[in-house]
Structure 1
Amino acid sequence: MTFYSATQPGLTALFRVLDTLSPVSTHVSALVGIIGGIALGVLVIWLLVVLIRKLKANVPSDGTSEFAPRSNSDQIRNELQSDHTTTFDSGALLCSICENLDFYKIFLDGIPETEEIPLDSLSSILKKSYQCNFCRLISFHVRRTWMLDKFPDFDLSGIQCRLLSMSCGCLRGPFYPPPKFRCFRLHVNMEGLRDFWEKYPTSRATAGSLSIYLMQEDAFKFGRPTDLHSRRVKNTVDIDLVKKWIKLCQENHGDECHDVWRMGDGEDKNLPEYVRLVDVVSMALVPAPSGCRYMALSYVWGAVSTEYRTTTDNIAGRSTPGGLNMTTFPETITDSILFARQLGLRYLWIDALCIIQDSLQDKITQIQSMDLVYGHSYLTIMAAGGASARDPLPGCRPRTRTLKQHIEVVQGLHLCVGPPRLQETLALSVWNTRCWTYQESALSRRRLYFTEQQVYFECRGDVFCEDIVAESKGHQLSTNFLRNSRGEYFPQGDPFGSYMWAVKECTRRNLTVESDLVDALTGVMNALAIGFRLGDPARVFHCGMILTDLHCALLWQHDPHTPRTRRSLPDGVGLPLPSWAWAAWRGPVDYTSAHRYIGIVNGSGDPSVVETLVDSWYIVDHSGATVQLDVRRVSRIVSNPMTEEEKSAYSPPSGILDSMELILDVHRPLVPGTLIFRTTSSHFNIAIRGSQENGESSACLHHGLFDILSTSSPPIWVGTAVLPLDPPPPSSLEFIVLSRTSMLRVYDEQILAKYHECVFYAMAISQHEGLMQRVGLGIIHEVSWNASRPKPKVVFLR
């Protein structure tokens, strides 16, 4: 039987041949047709699967979104400035420079810094960001961190961009991992930024390094684990991820993150009974239970109604179950309570709730325990994303944070410019400008920073964040680039180094009540005294000054850009702080090396004392009694053989002071804070340096460099001092010797002999009725000091 009809002779002949085929051939043909049909069906199904997977990839499950390329530049510009995670997907959208780069090979092998690849000028990259995926990544970072909308007229064409790659580290072992575990991130260097920084110095503090990361979903393309690759940030904080960070810290960091301030095994590690906590289950204030696990909150109060705070009127009601009404609390506090519940923690410490705000005695008692409150805390939340207590904890609830993660597909690879690293984020926060928050961060073992873009976890052993896969058990030799972006690390290796850092940090921050400065550092001071076994904190510190290292503590300097102005005190509150204490003065304070005496704006290094030249120190304590201080001494190691100048070295007065020498006037008792010691004093002339030597125009500076001159004729340049410019000091000042150091280029080296450690730290003072006040600090050559015929003197410094 034939199933085809044919009208042409050729086709008729063909069908006749087919009709003569055996039945077996017919069955084979049928089988081939069936197999072909099945293959066609499989192909169709496979194409449908690919299409569906592609559509799913364009709508990720974590709330991020992908967009097709836009031809409308205004629409792209809006997306660059949008507040959600964005992914542009098109491998074809590359400029002529970027399309010639082999990004796969770059991420596979890296680019050493010596072989940087030139890209283009920054202005050209910004223009091409609407048509090139890779240029758009750079543009997104620059627009976000440089705040270019504030500097529309600056010419960026002189800034050239160059590409290299940097190692992200390795979580699995040695410093030099095999290629399988080696992860790279791209880094864009920019040349020619000096003019931009000089014109807009505030932008320098906020413009971080430009790094571009490979997303974790592409790690398999290089045969690597997802370690240290970027991951997508969700709309809300992943509680399970936070719990994982805490667990990794608990199980792998040992004493480093477990012990509180180097306390011995026999010391009580419980909170004092007078410390109150919020019970987030019963919603009441309760005395801290013994050995309880609790969370602490660090935040900015801001201009918020005081109704939510605990007072003597509501403390009784708040101490009963249900006494804390969350509807009256600002959002930072309500979110903290919710977050504690999510973590499974029952207790929470919040200063506004746990301290009776209108009780001076309760405030004093609680402030003295801040080292314990934050040191014992299981976890401290840093509300670094808000400007006041009214602001929510970003990411604690939906729609409370704006994500800043931008993803592009370049040559088939998902590349990302993520949120700023921790240091860069904190530099932009109001939280980081407040003085009280410094010690709250420094004293805490585990810190969880809530910022506008993501959450960062920091402990003494590691740093984690939502956008980087960095979770590991912390192999002893593992490396992780996030650890370079630590927000805070305290204490440092020695007590005075830790103290200097704390003073620098706190004096640069703001206080609503400026007389709170010493109180805001009390927890840090207690921790230093306990951690380094210095003794009773009340005897180790006075007016913020560390007395055990007084010879170094006296070497503080005003920030040269800050006027010399006394810090005000509330009406009716005691005496002003002594002039020798940095806390008596407004503005930032530096502890810098002697290089400050070469250039007034030089602020690097630490002061170095090679010999103490004061034998005994005394202070009038808060009760009015004069007590001797236990100040650490530093002895000089003299070279052998000695030079002629060293043989005639300065010999400081020694011995303790008798009771009569400790009295200035029997009819006028000395006030607390008066420092008493014996040294030598001498007068020298001074002359201000020119503006060029001082480094900046006098309009920008309130302290400057002065030449210290001998009183001989002709005068000799014998040293250098840093003194206030307004009001200008007199032409002659009295100096008193404190200690010995080593420095060149601070005196006339053609006239005065140069030898090892030949200069003194000397304090410039003014005198009134026998009491002296600090005016400034200087360095004077030893030979010139001896030649000035200094006189021994008992100094009463106030």
Structure 2
Amino acid sequence: MSLGTGVGDSFPEEARRASDLPSHEESIERTPWLRNHTLDPTKDGADLCSICGQLDFQFLLGASLRETIAEEDHASRPTILETGIPLGPVAELRARSYCRLCSLVSQMLQNLSANGTIPIEKNGQPIMCHLNSLVRDSTGLRLDGSKVEDTYTPFAFQLLITTRPPLIEEDEVEPRQDLPPPPLIHRLSGEGASESSGYGREIPTSSIDFDLLSYWIQTCARKTAEESQMEGDMSKSKQSTLSLRLIDVIEQCLVGPIEGLEYIALSYVWEKVTPFILTEANLPNLKQSGALSTGDPAIPQTIRDAMILCKRLSERYLWVDSICIVQDVQDKLVQIGQMDKIYQQAKMAIIAAYGTDAHAGLPGVRPNSRWSSQQVVNLQGMKVSNVLPGLGNAVDAAPWNARAWTYQERLFSNRKLYFCKEQVFFECDHGEYREDMLIDPHYNTRAGKVTYGCDPEHGTGHKIIYRNKLNIHVYEEIIFEYTLRNLSFEEDILNAFQGVSNVLSRDLFNSSPFAFGMPLCLLDVALLWYPIGPLHRRRRAGPNASHFPTWSWAGWVGHFKLDWYGNVSEKTTSQVEWLSADEAEVPLEAELTGMPKSSWPYWKFWERHVGDGQFIYYTRKDGDHERWTCHPISDPVDGQPTPVDFQTGQLHLRAKIAKLTVTNKHSGRWCQSPKCDEGVHGKCELSVFDSDGLRAGVVTLDGNSFQRLTPGLHEFICLSQTTLSHADSDPAWDEETESYAGKPGGSPISPRPPLNKEDEPFDQGRYDPNICWCFYNVMMIEWQDGVVYRVGIGQVHVHAFDKASPRSHKILLG
């Protein structure tokens, strides 16, 4: 194949025509990425093949191809560069192992493969390999360097390897997994290069550069101090400091409890390893100098490495849960209840993202304790290497990131030092550092935090984003993410979530208490969660173990969702009378569990907003207008009664119960899982029938509950009344007041056409969709020893439910 010179390996004529390769005479003028002389083995050596030898890598790693060919002089550019410079079929690259670039590219493509082999064809077509240049700056990767708007922002060039057809496509990736990062090559920096130059960096193979890590940490601390001084932000100094036991890595023993010491926290995976733990019995001994020796094999390697690391970074105190919390007394529950503060107040968290248990260690802390796939080669006098996987890819796929306990540790740590298989990353509120690349997140932060949003390799920061986002939306995202993670012990579901619920309560729900993972002020809508796959009941530990409550997502093992779009609180009117869980069973005010009644005296302190698409939210008039709530929330009152018995997990309420028929017939609507048609049941939406056999609504069951279902009459609690649709597509919507102003069951304010067949939840010949507030949110239940348990959640037309002769019951919902 030739890149315009007529020399080199053979290249299929069809591909040659498609690439529109220039002739030798015009190639240099039109293609500055080619060298100005034909490959001469006596000058250039035998380290590049005849294709790669024609390329000018000094040019390619110093300019954007897309920018270059867009210039007027290149108006008649070859179409070759629309997809990049062709390097040839993958099969030929593999054969050119003598070529430094081809060998590097082959190895990079092999790293993408799950089984370590590179396919040479796909769907009968040979896989072709192309080379393009990219610009990397503080906002990520792009093709065109002219798009860098900030002249103060440094940027460098990288080479992108692409294949056609792609080696891996989106439909070939496992569910919930991202595509692997694109193969990239970058130029390595020379001596004294700036940390913000954008060049690559050669990683020491034996052990990490501790001075480099110290530089990262100190730079962030200095920048943060400058920002705090400029903004007059003294919030951190006003925080009440915790009284903690800590490991003194100099004396190698336990100290405290003591307040006010600066410390590093360790986040790691225990897994099934028998941990080295603190107990009442060994506490006195562990306070003796040398009791926690880094040479003691009884202490898991990850903890010993963290102690070594702290000492090398001149950090004296380390917090480790297994050693700093007494594991066999009440102290453990107290400490679990303040996990959010422990990680928030730490100077930094060490993240042991590599390995499956506490014996894995921190790669690179000890000599010869890590391996890297970085390959450094010399191209035309320049050192280049493959770009290693970024923070997002390296950490998100790690066993550490799959653990429920580590979720809150990642959320609340202000600075994180990630130890991954191949390199170390540092992440803070300004952005990230990485060993294999010189990008300084503190170089230019005038526009705020650098998030590298366009770079698919970069992590998102994993902070809770409150601004301009509905609180129920934030909550739903967190629950969804958290319940995707694993627990070694099912009963830890709430303990591992305690720190998260503390922060959500304080920052999103006006300090409303949480009950079994659900904010009490949101109870009316939080009960409407639904499964997105098969579930099984979660049990507590012990010989006489009881279950967690069925009404909470925490009572089940599986995955869940909660509708929030358009503000579900605004279109939910409770039909339940909540009762205090004490002996008095006093009826509770509506604002404790949901939208306050119009007579609530504190409406004057809140403001209602209607945004684009009739998106409704509320803010406190005297509060942060960027923190949106789905309804006003009353201020907390000490000793306020709740409907939750925290000992039994039961909810106390009075509500109507009606009997309706459920069979194994699925609804057939658009939201039905196609796998149900194949007999694989995860989430099942079933039709609910009235006494005449007509469809009256739908109910959602998880696949396991569906398999146990006995067709026939089933009981349903009426939880709340709701609308058919959202905003101006709903009959109750009043365009003038921008609210659901229609009277429940009344004539429509905004009449709408009949529902499409794929949207129809009930028989429109019997039940009218064109009335206001036409649905009841219902919970399908079963009884056991006088207690009611959730089976499924659904919606039934109000006329169908009312026709079924519902009766009011005092209910214990377990």
TM-score scaled by structure 1?
0.71
Residue 437 of structure 1: SS of its match in structure 2?
helix
1:444 Cα deviation from its structure 2 partner: 1.0
Contact 2:248 2:317 in 1 (8 A): yes
Equivalent in the alignment of 1:461: 430
- Structure 1: gaps of 5 or more residues: 1-88, 595-604, 640-661
Deviation at 1:320, TM superposition (A): 2.8
- Secondary structure of the residue that 1:525 maps to in structure 2? helix
Please tell me whether the aligned partners of residues 575 and 721 of structure 2 are also in contact (alpha carbons under 8 angstroms): no
Of residues 127, 137, 143 in structure 1, which corresponds to 2:110? 143
Equivalent-residue separation in structure 1 for 2:162 and 2:721 (angstroms): 45
Q: Which residue of 1 aligns with 2:372?
A: 403
Match of 2:136 in 1: 168
Larger radius of gyration: 1
Q: Which amino acid aligns with 2:278?
A: T
Indicate which of 287, 300, 304 corresponds to 1:334. Answer: 304
Residues of 2 paired with 1:447 and 1:475: CA distance? 19
Inter-partner Cα distance in structure 2 for 1:635 and 1:117: 63
Q: Deviations over 1:232-290 (max 9, x none)?
A: 1123222222222222322324699999xx99578543113xx2111112222111433
How far 1:680 sits from its partner (Å)? Answer: 4.7
Please state if 1:633 is matched with 2:595: yes
Mapped partners of 1:116, 1:638: distance in 2 = 47
In structure 2, the residue matched to 1:500 is 476
Superposition deviation, residue 402 in structure 1: 0.4
Cα separation, 1, equivalents of 2:354 and 2:151? 39
In structure 2, the residue matched to 1:610 is: 570
- In structure 2, distance between residues paired with 1:341 and 1:399: 19
Please give the secondary structure, in 2, of the residue aligned with 1:127: helix
**Alpha-carbon distance between aligned partners in 2 of 1:334 and 1:698, rounded to the nearest angstrom:** 54
Which is helix-richer, 1 or 2?
1
What's the offset of the Cα at 1:734? Answer: 3.5
Task: Report the CA distance between 1:737 and its aligned residue.
Answer: 3.7
Is the contact between residue 170 and residue 179 of structure 2 (CA under 8 Å) also seen in structure 1? Answer: no
- More moved, 151-160 vs 692-701: 151-160
Preserved CA contact (<8 Å) 1:252 1:474: no
* One-letter amino acid of the structure 1 residue matched with residue 185 of structure 2: I
Q: CA deviation at 1:519?
A: 0.6
**Residue 122 of structure 1: how far off its partner (Å):** 7.4
Query: What's the counterpart of residue 38 of structure 2?
Result: none
1:695 aligns with 2:665: no
1:461-481 superposed Cα distances (whole Å, 9 cap, x missing partner): 211111111113342237563
Which residue of the partner structure matches residue 501 of structure 2?
A: 525
Indicate whether 1:565 and 2:578 are aligned: no
One-letter code of the match for 2:63? L
Task: Tell me the SS of whatever aligns to 2:652.
Answer: strand
CA contact (8 A) 1:125 1:138 kept: no
- Unaligned runs of 5+ residues in structure 2 are 1-43, 71-80, 141-145, 599-607, 611-640, 727-754
Match of 1:229 in 2: 199
Q: 1:740 aligns with which of 687, 712, 722?
A: 722
2:83 partner letter:
E
Query: Root-mean-square deviation (CA), in Å?
Result: 4.5
Q: Name the structure 1 match of 2:323.
A: 353
Q: Return the offset for 1:527.
A: 2.3
Give the 3 Å change call, closer, same or farther, for CA 268–616 of structure 1 in structure 2.
farther
Q: Aligned residue for 1:432?
A: 401
- Cα distance, 1:529 vs structure 2: 2.4
Question: Cα distance 1:781–1:110, how it changes in 2: closer, same or farther (>3 A)?
Answer: farther
Task: Specify which of 493, 512, 517 is matched with residue 488 of structure 2.
Answer: 512
Match of 2:15 in 1: none
User: Could you tell me which of 324, 344, 368 is aligned with 2:337?
Assistant: 368
Give SS of 1:148's match.
coil
Q: Which residue of 2 aligns with 1:602?
A: none
Equivalent pair of 1:681/1:737 in contact (CA under 8 Å): no
Structure 2 counterparts to residues 515-594 of structure 1, below 5 A: 515-532=491-508, 534-535=510-511, 540-560=513-533, 562=534, 564-572=535-543, 575-587=546-558, 589-593=559-563
What is the 5 A alignment of 1:55-94? 93-94=48-49
* Distance in 2 (alpha carbons) for counterparts of 1:468 and 1:348: 28
Query: Structure 1 residues 336-345 or 690-699, which shifts more?
Result: 690-699
Paired residue for 2:613?
none
Partner residue of 1:115 out of 82, 85, 92: 82
Quickly say closer, same or farther: Cα 1:719–1:393, change in 2 above 3 A: same
Tell me which moved more, 291-300 or 102-111.
Answer: 102-111
The CA deviation string for residues 27-74 of structure 1, in whole angstroms up to 9 with x for no partner, is xxxxxxxxxxxxxxxxxxxxxxxxxxxxxxxxxxxxxxxxxxxxxxxx
Which structure has more relative contact order (CA 8 Å, sep 6+)? It is: 1
One-letter identity of the residue aligned with 2:781: I
1:503 and 1:496 map into 2 onto residues whose CA distance is: 10
1:387 counterpart residue number: 356
The size of the alignment, in residue pairs, is: 659
Identity of aligned residues (%): 24
Q: Say whether residues 1:324 and 2:302 are aligned partners.
A: no
Q: Which residue of 2 aligns with 1:778?
A: 794
Give yes or no for contact 1:612–1:635 (8 Å, CA) kept in 2: no
**Pairing 1:423–2:392 present:** yes
Question: Matches of 1:624 and 1:365 in 2, distance apart?
Answer: 30
Q: 1:347 to 1:266 in 2, by over 3 A?
A: closer
User: TM-score, normalized by length of structure 2?
Assistant: 0.70
- The question of whether the paired residues in 2 share the 8 Å contact of 1:133 and 1:408 is answered with yes
2:595 partner letter: R
Q: Using the alignment, how far apart are the partners of 1:616 and 1:264 within structure 2?
A: 42
Is residue 762 of structure 1 aligned with residue 778 of structure 2? yes
